[in-house]
Structure 1
């Protein structure tokens, strides 16, 4: 089966939904090391996790990881463009993303913040849909008849 970018974005977004929840702030700032580089296995070793590979393709490699900081998805990319396209698609589903050069870690706020103290990188937030939870009404205030 050929893996397409849209399939990968959907898989990443689904992983983000599974792993993320409502999170608070990081509780303050801390020194951030230089952003780590390397293969998925090298990055996983840096944060003491044994990656459970989910996708192993030329363009993208994705694994589920768990360590003392929590459970997260670790993804590496062949190109910067592929990484940015994946992040842009996945962020529509919410989530918390630790972004390095050609890699992303996705997890809860506390997990991503803890990983940052080892891997460096920048934290990006997905779209917050919490204002829409529990509402069956359209967000634009319009009502719909049963057509």
Structure 2
């Protein structure tokens, strides 16, 4: 099943790359597609497909209606691949993850959680964008100290 999805995606690759501007081509004779280009064709993909593109043998830890998660253990570090059946589930997941902050590699209906130093190399393999969720999460400003504040917080007003 995985092989059929990958072959089907690769069959569409010439159509996708033929429509690109071609401004970033390294050499005119280089017809070998990048892994990231292949990932874009098969994405949104299954956890196993993304894991295969990153070079890991994944262990599925969650298989639910809203998402599937798999863990990859590599010498560089461990990372979590999460896929979603619909984009709205990914957006809800990212919104929830924003509470914790951090950076994530995000693609169509998938996200990868890893140490920040791993995200760049993983992006070269599967594409996507690196999103900083701390920037998305609005924190409430802390109250400024006042003369009526004690070490236990502000004193109640007498009005």
Which residue of 79, 87, 100 corresponds with 2:94?
87
Q: Could you list the runs of 4 or more consecutive aligned residues of structure 1 that deviate by over 4 angstroms after TM superposition?
A: none
Unaligned stretches of 5+ residues in structure 1: 1-30, 129-137
Query: 2:66 and 2:144 mapped to 1: Cα distance?
Result: 41
- 1:53-77 alpha-carbon deviations (Å, 9 max, x no partner): 2210122001221224421111000
Distance change in 2, residues 1:72/1:140 (3 Å): farther
The answer as to whether partners of 1:32 and 1:116 remain within 8 angstroms in 2 is no
* 1:141 aligns to 2:119 (yes or no): no
Query: 1:77 and 1:93 mapped to 2: Cα distance?
Result: 20
* 1:71 aligns to 2:86 (yes or no): no
Distance change in 2, residues 1:127/1:140 (3 Å): farther
The DSSP-based 3-state class of the residue aligned with 2:36 is coil
**Structure 1-normalised TM-score?**
0.64
Query: 1:100 and 1:122 mapped to 2: Cα distance?
Result: 7
Which residue in 1 is equivalent to 2:53? 46
The DSSP-based 3-state class of the residue aligned with 1:93 is coil
Query: 1:32 and 1:48 mapped to 2: Cα distance?
Result: 11
Unaligned stretches of 5+ residues in structure 2: 1-33, 136-140
- 1:68-103 alpha-carbon deviations (Å, 9 max, x no partner): 442111100010011111011102201211011111
**Structure 2-normalised TM-score?**
0.59
The structure with higher relative contact order (CA 8 Å, sep 6+) is: 1
